Amino acid sequence: MKLIVDLKDRQYPIWIERKALYHIDEIINTHRKIAIIHDDAIPSKWIEIVKEQCENCVIFSFPEGENSKCFEQYQYLLQQCIDHHLSRKDAIVAIGGGVTGDLAGFVASTYMRGIDFYNIPTTILSQVDSSVGGKVAIDMGSYKNIVGSFYQPKGVLIDPDVLSTLSIRQQHNGLVEALKMGLILDENLVCEFEKEQLDIEAIITRSIDLKRQVVQEDEKENSLRKILNFGHTIGHAIEGAYGLDTYYHGECVAMGMLFFIEDKELKNRVLKIYDKLSLPAVPDYDVDTLMEFISHDKKGTQNVISVISVAKAGSYSIEEMNYEQIRLKLLRGAYEESNRK
């Protein structure tokens, strides 16, 4: 299946197909130097399959984990591009999860003021969400995505077969972002999580198509796109406060969403799905510590933050909340309005 992200002055394809990894020229112009960027944990077979299809290829790798979304690795990768004489006509291909897409995309957006980049997402999180939409960034210390840009890929190649080597924890971590998409935009997608057997390919396709539609509507997150940040205000704070590699990103988003689901029945529905995905419970956090992280939220101004709430599955509201209101949410806790004590 091919979906098109249509941004009026430019478009790019999202190709979702088993075995697509063996046909990258369907999406990628390989008649130039290609710099493949990946982390050091990705199975080498996926890199080999792509490398074989490139006539002129260099490969740069970095240590796995969120901690690599940092200036040191950003600088290292830029230096590799320089040392290997990448020109403006060449391209970067990010093969990996959200960290790889964000880091490699940011390198592509700034090297020589921007060269082509393509995403080949290999985790559920990147296949359902982060590979599309052009949010590329690095972290500063524990502040997530605080340095970055909106820089769209030239194409996204999604091959569900590459998920076969993913750990269960990573699979469940990524599924949270698809559940998020269902909670804000499509109750039928939420229902997919309540089936005995999860149809991962259907979940990926539906989630990334919803993401595509939102990005088309509001590429630079001036309004509608803020809804994709549901759960992230408190989620990013927990992720930063506990160290970027303690909890995975999706696990933190799952925690963050609970604070903004007001309906008891819906929250219990969501908690049942979390149990099915063996997601970690919200830790005993320090309110002041989280508030410090929240004060750097990109949807915030000096006095208020745009926060997203879900009262009914498949719907959302965006509200400007002051910091005191957010603090009260934290004081009240995540499990209010639920049967979980």
List active site positions. 113, 135, 177, 211, 221, 225, 229, 232, 236, 249
Binding to ligand LNCXM5UN (CB under 6 A): which residues in 155-184? 177
Q: Are strands 143-150 and 155-158 parallel, antiparallel or unpaired?
A: unpaired
Q: Where are the alpha helices (DSSP H) in the chain?
A: 44-51, 71-83, 98-110, 124-125, 168-185, 187-192, 200-217, 232-241, 249-258, 264-276, 287-294, 323-332
Query: Is residue 135 a contact point for ligand LNCXM5UN (CB under 6 A)?
Result: yes
Query: Is residue 66 a contact point for ligand LNCXM5UN (CB under 6 A)?
Result: no
Q: Are strands 317-322 and 304-309 parallel, antiparallel or unpaired?
A: antiparallel
# residues contacting ligand LNCXM5UN (CB under 6 A): 13
Q: Quick one: which segment of 10-18, 112-120, 228-236, 255-263 binds ligand LNCXM5UN (CB under 6 A)? A: 228-236
Q: What span, in angstroms and rounded, lies between the C-alpha atoms of 96 and 79?
A: 20
Q: Are strands 2-6 and 317-322 parallel, antiparallel or unpaired?
A: unpaired
According to CB under 6 A, which one of 33, 144, 212, 269 is a site residue for ligand LNCXM5UN?
144
According to CB under 6 A, which one of 172, 206, 212, 225 is a site residue for ligand LNCXM5UN?
225
According to CB under 6 A, which one of 90, 116, 129, 159 is a site residue for ligand LNCXM5UN?
129
- Of 10 and 195, the one with the shorter C-beta distance to ligand LNCXM5UN is 10
Binding mask 74-113 toward ligand LNCXM5UN (x if CB under 6 A, else -) reads ----------------------------------------
Which amino acid makes up residue 321? M
Residues ≥6 apart with Cβ < 8 Å to 107: 37, 74, 77, 78, 81, 92
Q: How far is CA 170 from the centre of its chain?
A: 13
According to CB under 6 A, which one of 33, 69, 172, 298 is a site residue for ligand LNCXM5UN?
298
Binding mask 261-280 toward ligand LNCXM5UN (x if CB under 6 A, else -) reads --------------------
Q: What span, in angstroms and rounded, lies between the C-alpha atoms of 3 and 208?
A: 9
Query: Is residue 221 a contact point for ligand LNCXM5UN (CB under 6 A)?
Result: yes
Residues ≥6 apart with Cβ < 8 Å to 99: 39, 64, 65, 66, 68, 69
Instruction: Evaluate whether 309 touches 258 at the Cβ level (below 8 Å).
Output: no
Closest CA to 156 of 189, 132, 129, 179: 132
According to CB under 6 A, which one of 154, 232, 269, 329 is a site residue for ligand LNCXM5UN?
232
Summarize as ranges the residues that interact with ligand LNCXM5UN (CB under 6 A): 129-130, 133, 135, 144-145, 177, 221, 225, 228-229, 232, 298
